[in-house]
Each structure stands twice: as structure tokens, then as C-alpha cells.
A and B are shown apart, each in its own frame.
Chain A
Amino acid sequence: MTAAQEHIDPALRVEALMSLLTERGLIDQATVENLIKTYEESVGPMNGATVVARAWTDPEYRARLLADGTAAIAEMGYKGPQGEHIVVLENTPAVHNIVVCTLCSCYPWPVLGLPPSWYKDPAYRARIVREPRRVLAEFGLDLDPGVSVKVFDSSSEVRYMVLPERPEGTDQLTAEELAALVTRDAMVGVAKVTTP
């Protein structure tokens, strides 16, 4: 077994590592704080929601997004780690796509930020590739038996994002108002977008 992984509380382990690496000049506080702040404030599902809302309101953008997700997402200014090649999967009344990474927790960071705890949880990773309809039903999404369910396991550097269906009765909403409706869960494919 690697590393003396005798139990040390992780909060203490972090402090021990930070202390050793800082005194050797290998890391500095500002870099660490910047990284944390970036993923707490700037990179998150609000980016993906903006992409989805534009796709709902701009048919040409939608076509570009489905043809070359990486380029269409970069157009909106979203790029960076874990976004080298992003494929956008379109949910329709007939097809429901769901995303997972069974081997670790690969996730399209530039559009959705860091993965949420339930996505990284071994139970989700184990079950969604075996009984996706049952898992979605537990989450409150009962799919009609006639809907095709497609599960995507992100095992290479390709990252997947779901383009959810636009909810009915939203014709009058602006792209900004629509973006506020779009959830992280819907862009992973474990929920639909609903109106309040």
C-alpha cells in the first residue's frame, strides 16, 4: 500500500502538507486562495446556464453548440481545465441523456464548475450505469417508458453537458430570465428544467 496512510484527519493533513510545501517555497498562499476563489465564484453552473439559455433563444447558436460544443462554448468565453473537448447532448421529448464518470468524477468544469457531492458519490457512479430510470425516479424524475434513456460514462478527455428541454410557457422570457431557470442537475441530465 502506498503512502503512510495511517489515519490523520484530512483537515490536519492539509495543514501539514501546506506547511511543508510553503516553507520550501513550493506553494504560496495567494495561488492557493486564487484557485479556491476561482471555483467558488467565477466557474460554476451559471456559465452552463448562460450557454443553455442562448441555445434556447438563438437557433443558429444552438446548431453550432450541437455541432461543436467546445467552440460554441468558447465563444461565450468559457474554457480552461477539463474543457478540452466538450460534447453537448440534446434532450428531447423522445431522448433523455444522463452524464456520469464511473472511474473518477470527470465533469465539464468550464461550464458547470466543480462536480457536486452527489455526482462524485460512489453510489451514483455505481447505479446510474445500471438502473438509471430507477435512480432518476428516486430523484423525482419519472420518465415515460417510451423515452429512450442514454447514459454517457466520461472515461476519456471528452466532457459531456446536457442541453435540457426548454420548459413550456417560457416564450416571453428573455435569455437572462431563462438562464435563471436552468439548474446544474438539468445539465447533468438528472432533472428537467421547470418553471416556478
Chain B
Amino acid sequence: MDGIHDVGGMHGLGRTMTPHQGPPFAEPWEGKAFALGALAGRLTGANLHAFRHAIERVAPAEYLSGYYSRWLLGAQNLLTDSGIVSSEEIAARAARLSGREADEPPSPEPNKPTMASGGPGNLRTLESPPAFAVGDAVRTQNLHPVGHTRLPRYVRRRVGTITAVQPAQVFPDHAAHFLGEDPQHVYSVEFSSAELWGPGAEPFSLTIDLFEPYLERAE
């Protein structure tokens, strides 16, 4: 989806934070939010790709309000999608925990997704050979799916060069929607900064790992 999460190259997001040391969780609730997200897949029958998409679906203002806020709302999206808890139950429980009266609505009917798994993790072995080889010129497709994708906007319709063939992997665009693993070959594709950002760009190269369905051969 062309959402708030797809920030590569965007202007106007403010100054970059200077790297600094700090604990993994700035406040105790962040650690609990992390744990809830980490456990949400098992509780809901979802997968990593569905979790990423659940975070992408968080409303933009909430998305930008902080990492563990969006992570927590993403976990909540998975839990409500699967009928483990409802948003109304969460709102009512939050009200009661803060000392207000609230009727607790009945729990929803669980509705967990089912999708056959080809094994643990996301790396898979494919019998079909990769369509592209190191050194090939490829063009990224002009895809704008309404669902999950790992082809960011800033590399669409661009010409780059394959620099590595990576292990084949579960296809996020399908797995996030429980349509099946549909494993695909994955390639590291290198783009020049001028191809991405025009002739005034800083000199550098950008490498990104892209799934075969995102690519076509370039002349």
C-alpha cells in the first residue's frame, strides 16, 4: 500500500535524531508492547508479513507518534482481525483501568487465518532457476498494490543492476494476506543515486533486495 510507512526519500519528516546510546526500552510499557507484538503472531495465526502490514495500516498520525506506539497498534490490528479481542473491549478495559465505569462488551468469535507453511522462517528452496543473473540490467515494475508489498515507491520504474542472487523467500505480498507462501527468487539490485533522484543527487549507490515479480529485464 502507498502508506505512511513508505518513507524512503520523503521530505519534511524533520531533523534526523543523532545516534545515541540508550536502553532498548525507554519506558516499561515499551518492553511490554514489544513482547505483545512478538507474541501476537502465535496468538492470532498471523505471520511476520501480516504483522508488518498490520503496522502499515496504523493511521498516519499514530504511525508517526513513535515506534512502540505503532508496533502496539499493529499487534492490536492482528488481534482484532483474528477475533481474539475487539477494539471495543480494549477501549472498555482501558477505561476501567483508569477508574472510569464502562460496560465490557462480549468477546468476538475467533477467526484466525489459516495458511499452509513450508517450514520455519522465510527462506525456501525453489526448483525453477532464477530468471536473472548477476550483472543483468533490470527495471522495477510500476506496481501500486492496495495490500502489502516490499517494493518501495522510490525504487519503482527504475533501472538497476543485479549484484547478488539472494536465497529464495516467502513472497510477502501474498503471505501478508494469507494467500500462500508463493516463494520467489530474491535479488540485490543496485541503483545509481542519479537514477533515483535525478542529476543533482549526491553521488552514492543504493542496493535493495527485490522479489522476482517486481522486476523485468531492461535493455
Contact with B along A124-153 (1 / 0, CB 8 A): 111111111111001100000100111111
Tell me, in angstroms, the Cα distance from A29 to B71 when the chains sit together: 19
Q: How many residues of B contact A (CB 8 A)?
A: 91
Expressed in whole angstroms, the minimum distance between the Cβ of B155 and any Cβ of chain A is 8
Q: How far is the CB of A21 from chain B (nearest CB, A)?
A: 7
Flag if B13 contacts A3 (CB, 8 Å): no
Contact A44 B24 (CB under 8 A): yes
Q: With A and B bound together, what is the CA distance between A129 and B43 in angstroms?
A: 36
CB within 8 Å of B: which A18-74 residues: 18-21, 24, 26-27, 31-32, 35-36, 39-40, 44
Q: Is the CB of B26 within 8 A of A40?
A: no
Give the interface SS of chain B, mostly helix, strand, loop or mixed.
mixed
The distance from the CB of A104 to the nearest CB of chain B, in whole angstroms, is 6
Residues of chain B within 8 A of A12, CB atoms compared: 94, 97-98
B128 interface hit (Cβ, 8 Å): no
Q: How far apart are B84's CB and chain A's nearest CB, in angstroms?
A: 7
Structural contact, A17 and B90, CB atoms closer than 8 A: yes
Give the total of A residues in contact with B, Cβ under 8 Å. 76
**CB atoms of A126 and B72 under 8 A apart:** no
Select B79's contact among A17, A135, A184, beta carbons within 8 Å.
Answer: A17
Q: Say which residue of B16, B31, B38 sits within 8 Å of A135 (CB atoms).
A: B16
Supposing A14-B33, A134-B202, A154-B209 touch, asked if A26 and B24 sit within 8 A by C-beta, the answer is no
Beta-carbon contact of B169 and A157 below 8 Å: yes
Secondary structure dominating the interface of A: mixed
Interface pair A84/B122, CB less than 8 Å apart: yes
B138 at the interface (CB under 8 A from A): no
B32:A36 contact, CB within 8 angstroms: yes
CA distance A133 to B205 in the complex (A): 11
Are A17 and B17 in touch, CB under 8 angstroms? no
The docked-state distance in angstroms from the alpha carbon of A85 to that of B170 is 13
Interface: A167 (CB within 8 A): no
B195 touches A (CB below 8 Å): no
Contact among B25, B91, B167 for A40, CB-based, below 8 A:
B25
**Contact of A102 with B by CB under 8 A:** yes
Question: Taking A3-B76, A116-B19 as contacts, is the C-beta distance between A129 and B91 under 8 angstroms?
Answer: no
Contacts of A124 in B (CB 8 A): 16-17
- Interface positions, chain B 1-25, Cβ under 8 Å from A, are 5-11, 13-25
Residue of A with least CB distance to B207: A152
Interface residues of A (CB under 8 A from B): 1-8, 10-21, 24, 26-27, 31-32, 35-36, 39-40, 44, 81, 84-85, 102-105, 113-114, 116-118, 120-135, 138-139, 145, 148-158, 184-185, 190-191
- Chain B positions near chain A (C-beta within 8 angstroms): 5-11, 13-29, 31-36, 38-39, 43, 52, 54-55, 57-59, 62, 64, 66-69, 72-73, 75-77, 79-81, 84-85, 87-91, 93-94, 97-98, 107, 121-123, 150-152, 154-155, 166-167, 169, 186, 188, 196-197, 201-211
Contacts beyond the supplied A17-B90, A153-B207: 12 A-B pairs with Cβ under 8 Å: A11-B27, A32-B35, A84-B122, A103-B5, A103-B152, A105-B67, A116-B19, A125-B7, A130-B8, A151-B205, A156-B186, A185-B19
Q: Which 3 A-B pairs have the closest CB atoms?
A: A4-B87, A102-B8, A156-B209
